[in-house]
Amino acid sequence: MGSIELKKAGLKVTHPRIKILEILENAANHHLSAEDVYRALLDSDTEIGLATVYRVLTQFEAAGIVKRHHFDGGQAIFELDTGDNHDHMVCMKTGRVEEFKDEMIESRLQAIAKERGFKLSHHSIILYGVYADNEE
Amino acid sequence: MGSIELKKAGLKVTHPRIKILEILENAANHHLSAEDVYRALLDSDTEIGLATVYRVLTQFEAAGIVKRHHFDGGQAIFELDTGDNHDHMVCMKTGRVEEFKDEMIESRLQAIAKERGFKLSHHSIILYGVYADNEE
DNA sequence: CTAGGTGCAAACATTTTGCATGGTT
DNA sequence: AACCATGCAAAATGTTTGCACCTAG
């Protein structure tokens, strides 16, 4: 149950928060926009305002429960923060998102930052392309 | 003069387009939002509608004259497309943006994409942090 | 009981679009 | 002259906020 995460984050255990956590955990696609979450809630007969979805997602982000990404296309995408700091590949044809993590790249980025006197806080790597099995 | 680029792109050589090209070329900071460009135009006593700025920047992007980036913070950032495919480091304190390019990372990304059957079109790498000389 | 959470509608910020007018080739 | 570009205002999008009401602890 997500109630533990919520308490740990100092957030009251409310119906909307539990439901949204469930959606994020169980969704087939783990990368959802606020609108996606909202629709998933409606699909499970849960009436929660879109404003609340945004508020909850923002609180979850502050609490380190979710991560917010800005892929091309305007709206923010959220996913559970598993702690590993993975990066993303986005299929431009289907919208499918996959994750990857590469130590060689990570350490190279650290080195580049160091060379330049840049205190690295976090980074975003996004690969845009098409999965071979999705081509026509 | 930018008129050559414009003609090559099949765009009529108009006052707004020339001016906007000038701004992009001469700005101290080469990474500008549409609003930044708009204000720079006003500062040089050029009255051009914000809608036109957006339209022109979008056309420039389609023509390969500028690149559009989505750094954290909502609005799109534009820069001249020099052809080299550099990446960015963004100072979270000052907003300063620097560029870098690393062949090791590039080739590693290619390899990762290949491994996964992903036809790479382009990528975005953004480092967020603070420049040491900007810390207090 | 009380602090904090929620819903709704309105406000916001950014970007896009319709349409009548104006400028380039 | 024909076509494309521009300005303005309005619309569209994605997200945030004010406020009255409600609920978890």
* Residue pLDDT, tens place only, A10-54: 999 999 999 999 999 999 999 999 999 999 999 999 999 999 999
Mean pLDDT over the full length of chain A: 94
Taking the CA of residue B14 and the C1' sugar atom of nucleotide C24, their distance in angstroms comes to 8
Is residue A77 predicted with pLDDT exceeding 90? yes
Mean pLDDT over the full length of chain B: 94
Interface test with B, best of A94, A127, A131, A133 (most B CBs within 10 A): A127
pLDDT of residue B136: 47
**Which of A104, A119, A121 faces B132 most closely, judged by CB atoms?**
A119
Q: How far is CA A47 from CA A42, A44, A52, in A?
A: 6, 9, 10
Query: How does pLDDT run across B108-117, given as a tens digit for each residue?
Result: 999 999 999 9
What's the residue count for chain A? Answer: 136
Q: Is B66 exposed, middle or buried (0-12, 13-18, 19+ CB in 10 A)?
A: buried
Which residues of A touch chain B, with CB atoms under 8 Å apart? 70, 72, 89, 91-92, 98, 100, 102, 104-105, 108-109, 112-113, 116-133, 135
Cβ distance B66 to B60 under 8 Å? yes
- For strand D, the positions having any atom within 7 A of a protein Cβ are 4-10, 13-18, 23-25
pLDDT of residue A64: 96
Taking the CA of residue A50 and the C1' sugar atom of nucleotide C12, their distance in angstroms comes to 16
Taking the CA of residue A3 and the C1' sugar atom of nucleotide C4, their distance in angstroms comes to 17
pLDDT of residue B18: 97
Contacts 24+ apart (CB under 8 A), A11-20: A11/A59, A11/A63, A15/A46, A15/A48, A16/A48, A16/A52, A16/A53, A16/A56, A17/A56, A19/A44, A19/A46, A19/A48, A20/A48, A20/A53, A20/A56, A20/A57, A20/A60
